[in-house]
Structure 1
């Protein structure tokens, strides 16, 4: 597992805290790997998900650090979403 994925799992776990996430979401970080968020928590995994969000490492890092709004990243083409858009918006609220 790459250092980027390891750090991203830790950061997402901190953001979500002990809250349960209803549904499943996968972040694909280009060239690094994938992270799953579901009712079991956050982990490095490439399982099937209700929604898949894809971005490069810099974009993902900017979203995690609060420097880039996930909706703005989507609108400018830096973040792609495949699947349940409602769930993606819910996840955006958790990250924002």
Structure 2
């Protein structure tokens, strides 16, 4: 899928505002091999920005390959978490909704 920026651009393009209509959250992505990004979901919109947010709802740590595989549907996010490929801190249940908010 390319660089971290490419992955987040693709995610934003796939954003489903109906699935996220009741959501108000900040997903922080701590990438092992790239700059950190955070995605803000509010009022039925999603914005990805490079950097670290000081008040993330959930923080997910992984490498870009894992993020790409989860966001393309090659890898189940829960399986990746159970295998230790994804680290999560904060509202972990919210993290399980990522593939609903950004469907393949």
TM range (shorter): 0.7 to 0.9
Q: Distance in 2 between matches of 1:70 and 1:93?
A: 11
- What TM-score does the superposition give when structure 1 sets the normalisation length? 0.81
Identify the structure with bigger relative contact order (alpha carbons < 8 Å, sequence gap 6+). 2
Q: Which structure is higher in helix share? A: 1
Number of residue pairs aligned between Structure 1 and Structure 2: 93
RMSD: 2.0
- What TM-score does the superposition give when structure 2 sets the normalisation length? 0.76
SS at match of 1:24: strand
Q: Distance in 2 between matches of 1:89 and 1:62?
A: 15
**Structure 2 residue runs without a partner (length 5+):** none
The answer to whether 1:27 aligns with 2:26 is no
